[in-house]
Amino acid sequence: MNNTSSLLNLAKQVQSLAENGQHYANSEYDLDRYNELEKISIEMISLITNSDIETITLGISEKNGYRTPKVDVRAVIFNTEGQILMVKEKIDGCWSLPGGWADIGYTPAEIAEKETFEEAGMTVKAEKLLAIFDKKCHNHPDDIYYAYKIFVACEAINNNIQTGFETTDAGFFSENNLPELSTPRNTKNQISLMFTAYKDELKWPYIDLNCNQ
Tell me the three-class secondary structure of the chain, residue by residue: CCHHHHHHHHHHHHHHHHHHHHHHCCCHHHHHHHHHHHHHHHHHHHHHHCCCHHHHHHHHCCCCCCCCCEEEEEEECECCCCCEEEEEECCCCCEECCEEECCCCCCHHHHHHHHHHHHHCCCEEEEEEEEEEEHHHCCCCCCCCCEEEEEEEEEECCCCCCCCCCEEEEEEECHHHCCCECCCCCCHHHHHHHHHHHCCCCCCCEECCCCCC
Q: Are residues 104 and 203 in the same domain?
A: yes
Answer yes or no: do 190 and 116 share one domain. yes
Per-residue pLDDT band for 212 (boundaries 50, 70, 90) equals: low
Q: What's the number of domains the chain is made of?
A: 2
Residues 84, 176 within the same domain: yes
Residue 185, domain CATH: 3.90.79.10
In-domain check, residue 213 = no
Residues 95 and 37 reside in one and the same domain: no
pLDDT at 213 over 70: no
Q: Which domain holds residue 141?
A: 70-207
Q: Do 47 and 94 share a domain, yes or no?
A: no
Q: What is the model's pLDDT at position 64? A: 67
User: 40 and 108, same structural domain?
Assistant: no
Q: Are residues 107 and 143 located together in one domain of the fold?
A: yes
pLDDT, tens digit, 9 for 90 and up, residues 30-73? 889 999 999 999 999 999 988 888 888 877 777 767 778 999 99
Is the same domain home to 11 and 109? no
Tell me whether residue 65 is in a domain. Answer: no
